[in-house]
A and B are shown apart, each in its own frame.
Chain A
Amino acid sequence: MAITLTETAAQRVEKFLANRGKGVGLRLGVKTTGCSGMAYTLEFVDDLQADDVTFESFGVKVIVDPKSLVYIDGTELDFTKEGLNEGFKFNNPNVKDECGCGESFTV
C-alpha cells in the first residue's frame, strides 16, 4: 500500500513549496482529537524524523510517520474546488465514519 497524490494535488504542493522557499515535502498524518476520534494533519516538512516513511508521487515527497500510516494507508490526496473554497481532500479507504463536517473520522 502507499500514499498517493493526484496530479492536481502534486502540482499544488509543488507550487506551495516553491513559494515557501524551503521544505522537503508534505507530511500527512492523523492526531487523536476532534468530535469523531481522529483528525487529519497536513503540514510542510523541513526535517525528516528517523522513523518516517517516505512516498513519492508526481515528483513530490509525501512523508508519513509509521503510527499515522496504519490509519491512512491507501489514501489518495486530491486538490478540489467546492464553490469558492478550495483545498486538499483525503480519500481514505480506512474510514468507517466521519463527523458531519468531515474534519475528523473513525476507523
Chain B
Amino acid sequence: MALLQISEPGMSPAPHQHKLAVGIDLGTTNSLVATVRSGMSTVLHDEHGHALLPSVVRYLENAVIVGHEAQAAQSMDPVNTIISVKRFMGRALHDITDRAHIPYHFVENDASHGVLELKTRAGLKSPIEISAEILKTLKARAEKALGGELTGAVITVPAYFDDAQRQATKDAARLAGLHVLRLLNEPTAAAVAYGLDNASEGIYVIYDLGGGTFDISILRLSKGVFEVLATNGDSALGGDDFDHRIYCWVLDQVRSKTPNFSPLTEEDTRLLLTKARQAKEWLTDNHEANLLCKLSNGTLVDETLTVQQFVSLTETLVSKTLGPMRKAMRDAGLSITDINGVVLVGGATRMPHIRHAVQAHFKQEPLTNLDPDKVVALGAAIQANILAGNRQDDALLLLDVTPLSLGLETMGGLVEKVIPRNSTLPIARAQDFTTYKDGQTAMAIHVVQGERELVSDCRSLARFELRGIPPMAAGAARIRVTFQVDADGLLSVSAREQTSGAESNIIVKPSYGLNEEEITATLKASYGAAETDKQARMLREAVVDAQRLIEAIQAALAQDGETLLSKEERDTIAQHVTMLNTLCQGSDSQAVKQATEALNQATEHFAARRMDASVQKALAGKNLNSLEM
C-alpha cells in the first residue's frame, strides 16, 4: 500500500491528491533536491545515497549522462562534458570573458540574438537545455523518492541573477517538465532554512560562496517575515577560482622544472583542475596536500601544497569578497554592530581561511550548524511546501529586492531609471515619457538593466515599439511606460499613449536567449518520442481493424462468394483485399484507414445480398400464418 506522511492538523490530502513539492538548488558545481516530509525539510538522496548531484552533463552519441558518472569522465572527454553551465545561463558570447580557460566550443546563435551555444557531439546545446538535463535528473529522483508526480518546484537562483538569467532558469525548468512555483534567491532560501529551524530574529548577513558565484545578502528577519535589505556579489567568483589558482601554481611549478614543457591538452587541463579541487578539499582538514598525476606527454606531476601556500595563493580571492560585503552594508545603511548573525552557504565556505576572514570582518563567529551545501535546498523545500498549499498557519511572507536598477533608454543613449535597485518585490512603477519630434507616431522603447548612466554600459533586456501615437507637436503626447517585476523577479514592460486614450499592443521580445518558437520547438523535440509512440499506436489500431474486416470478408466469400457475386465483383473485392494487405505492412495509418473504408464500401452490396439471401432462406417454404410476428 501507499506510504503516508504526517500532515498539519486538518490538512490531510485526499487520496491521489498529494501536493508533492520540492525545492531545487540548481548550483554551479552541485545541485540538490529537497522536500518537506512529515513537517521536516530533508534532502533527497539517489540510489547510492548521494545527496549532491554534480552539475555535470556529458553528451554521448545517443544518450545524456548527468552527475557523478559524467564528472568522472571530465578529464577523458572535456569537450562533451559540460561543467558549471550555470555561468552561461542567459549569457551572450561576449559576456564570457575567460573563454581561454574553458575547453568548450562556443557558438553564437544568430537566430536568438547572440545567445551562446555549446558544440557537443550530440549537436549544439544551449545552456538552458544543459540545465534542463540536470533538472530532469533531480525531478526523476524526487518522483522516485516521493512516489508520485510533482505538483511544483521552487528553484533557487543567485540574488545577482538578472532577468535574462532568471528567465533562462525558468525556461530550463519548463523544458524539464517542472512547474515552477517560484524562483527564490539563494540567500533568502538559506535564511528560510535557518530562520524557521532556529526561530531567529534580527539582521543577518548571508555569505554564499558557491562553485561559481559569490552572493552577499543582508536580510531582516522578524516574526517569520524575511525582508531582503540589500544584495551584492560577484557572478564570476567561486570555489572554481580557488581550484584555478592551485592549477596555475602547479603549472608554474612543473614549467620551472621542465624546460621544454609542451602545451597542455584539454584532457591535461581537466585532470589538473580535478587534482586541484581535490587538494583544496583535502586542505580543509589537513596541513598539506599532495598533487600527483601523469600528463599525456609523460611528464610526472608530484607537488605538495601546504595550507600556508594555499592561503597566500588565494588571499586576493578572499579579499575580493570583502568589497561587495562593504557595498551591501552601505546600501542597507548598516554598520558591523547591527549584524546579529552571519550565515555561511556554499561548499567553498568550508575553507577555514574563509571562515576566519568572515569572522574577522564581522567580529563574530559565523553560523554553520546546517550543512552549507544543503541549506539552500532545504529552505527552498520549505518555501515549496507552503506554496503548494500544504501548510495553513504562519504563512511565510517573502520580500525580495531587485538586484539592479531597471530603466529605459532616452534620447542620446542615456538611461532613465524607472525602478531603482534594491526595491522590494513585487513592484510596479510607471513613468510618463513624451515624443521628441513633431508628428512622431511611433516610439522605440529599449529596456535596460544596470547602474550606469549610459545605455552602452548597461545590459540590454528588451526592445519594443509603441505605434499608433496620434500625430501632434513634440512634447504633447504622454506615453506612460509601466515596469512591473513579479515575485519571481521577472520583468514585464508596457507602454500606453495617454492623451488619445488609444492603446497600442506591444510585445516585449527579450534580447537574450530563446524566443517563443525556439522554446516550442525544443519542447516539441522533447515530446518527439511521445508523438512516435502515438503514431505507432494509431497504425497498430488501423491494422487490427483492417485485418478484422479482411478475415470477415474472406469467411463470407468462402461461404457465399460463388453464389452471390459475379466473377468481376469477386475480383474487385480481391483487389481491395490485396491492396489493404500490402498497406498493412507499411507504416501509414491514414492509408490503412482509407483502404479499410474503401474495402468496406466495395463489399456493401455483397453484405446486402447476403442479408437478403439469409432472410429468403429463413422464410423459404413458410406461409405467413406460420410466422410468429
Contact = CB atoms under 8 A, between A and B. Distances in A.
A103 B1 contact: yes
Contacts of A34: 14-16
Contacts of A33: 14-15
Given A84-B45, A85-B146, A90 B10 contact: no
A85 B147 CA distance: 6
Contacts of A47: 9
Contacts of A51: none
A16 B39 CA distance: 6
A89 to B, nearest CB: 6
Given A16-B38, A85-B144, A101 B9 contact: no
A22 to B, nearest CB: 10
A33 B17 CA distance: 11
B40 interface: yes
B14 A88 contact: no
B9 A43 contact: yes
Given A20-B39, A46-B9, A101-B2, A84 B14 contact: no
A104 B15 contact: yes
B6 A19 contact: no
A53 interface: no
A27 B46 CA distance: 31
B334 interface: no
A39 B15 contact: yes
Interface string B1-15: 111111111111011
B478 interface: no
A41 B44 CA distance: 24
B10 A43 contact: yes
A104 B4 CA distance: 11
A84 B16 contact: no
A39 B10 CA distance: 14
A69 B39 CA distance: 25
Contacts of B141: 84
Contacts of A39: 14-15
B39 A85 contact: no
Contacts of A29: 12
Contact of B6 (A26, A90, A102): A26
A38 B570 CA distance: 62
Contact of A43 (B12, B14, B46, B146): B12
A67 interface: no
B516 interface: no
Interface in B116-168: 141, 144-147
Given A31-B12, A34-B15, A43 B47 contact: no
B14 A89 contact: no
Contacts of B45: 84
A75 B20 CA distance: 26
Interface centre among B6, B10, B11, B12 (most CB of A within 10 A): B6
A43 B6 contact: yes
A101 B16 contact: yes
A44 B6 contact: yes
Contacts of A87: 2-5, 37-38, 147
Contacts of A10: none
A104 B146 CA distance: 18
A21 B8 CA distance: 13
A85 B12 contact: no
Interface of A: 12-13, 15-16, 19-21, 26-27, 29, 31, 33-35, 39-47, 80, 82-90, 98-99, 101-104
Q: Nearest 9 A-B pairs (CB), nearest first?
A: A102-B1, A87-B3, A34-B15, A41-B12, A103-B15, A84-B145, A16-B38, A85-B147, A39-B15
Given A42-B6, A80-B3, A84-B47, 4 more contacts: A16-B6, A43-B6, A43-B11, A87-B4
5 contacts: A16-B6, A29-B12, A84-B145, A103-B1, A103-B2
